[in-house]
Amino acid sequence: MMTMMRRISERATGFSKKLILKSSASRFHGESLDSSVSPVLIPGVHVFHCQDTVGIVAKLSDCIAAKGGNILGYDVFVPENNNVFYSRSEFIFDPVKWPRHQVGEDFQAIAQTFGAMNSVVRVPSIDPKYKIALLLSKQDHCLVEMLHRWQDGKLPVDITCVISNHERASNTHVMRFLERHGIPYHYVATTKDNKREDEILELVKDTDFLVLARYMQILSGNFLKGYGKDVINIHHGLLPSFKGGYPAKQAFDAGVKLIGATSHFVTEELDAGPIIEQMVESVSHRDNLRSFVQKSEDLEKKCLTKAIKSYCELRVLPYGTNKTVVF
């Protein structure tokens, strides 16, 4: 059994609280879980959301310890003047002593005890990767970034297909990449009067969530209800500023000194869903429109891939009506 020193930060209303445990295998907080921590122990992640009350942390910690597991990192957040509790724990355990199905049942029992609104556990080395579909229009810089990160094993998803309302020649870099890796490309031409959403729903029915990698079509409320799962978008601007078309030119013409990108969940209200990630970069009078747009596209790529990675690592939880907690 590893020797562990436990430091629990004193609870302060309105501030994020962390339970930090140090073991002989030290690790920086926020690193991706690595199954090489032990030849026997494997990593897991658990997130929890319920009404705040006494004893939640103790109950969750005891659940892991009782099965011989060790907690590597524990984040807790209780917002000011709002009696709700959020937590995310990273732990290692022996799947022989604590089988995967039992892990889920044990955490579910605690969820029932506290009437949790959300309780999810993932074991990356056992559980299947999230299945996603990528939707895009003409620009493909976000798609290319995601494909390369997926190829390098840095994006923990399975890409089931790519869907676009723009046709691409078979000899392009993107099409050759997709063909080489067996990823279907579906050209679904749309018009103002026919978005062909039923066809798209059929193509994505077996996915876990969708990614709009610069898909310049507005998804209807019927589509979102019909799909019933999360849709993540990248907005080419620092919301809520510069909505609509050509935000880079809007910002350029306004002479801004900071540009940004926003990744958010899609809702029926355009560009107003809960924000997952935002990034900014300085620009100046020395930038022309070309360098301005290039910086903007670089931000979009980084922002979207970070949001997807955070989502897959169970770092993103809904908070209130239109916010998120991102551990």
Active site residues: 271
Dihedrals φ, ψ of 69, to 5°? -90, 165
Amino acid at 218: I
Question: What SS3 class is residue 176?
Answer: helix
Tell me which H or E stretch contains 290: helix 289-312
Q: How far apart are CA 165 and CA 191, in angstroms?
A: 9
Q: At which residue do the structure tokens 């601007």 appear?
A: 237
Q: How far apart are CA 238 and CA 299, in angstroms?
A: 10
Cβ-Cβ contacts under 8 Å for 15 (sequence gap 6 or more): none
188 token code pair = 């679904």
The total number of residues shown for the chain amounts to 327
Closest CA to 157 of 226, 227, 214, 232: 232
Dihedrals φ, ψ of 57, to 5°? -60, -40
Amino acid at 208: D
Residue 269 burial (10 A CB sphere; 0-12, 13-18, 19+): exposed
Q: At which residue do the structure tokens 């724990």 appear?
A: 89
Buried b (16+ CB within 10 A) or exposed e, 168-181: beeeeebeebbeee
Task: Note whether 279 and 317 are within 8 A (CB).
Answer: no
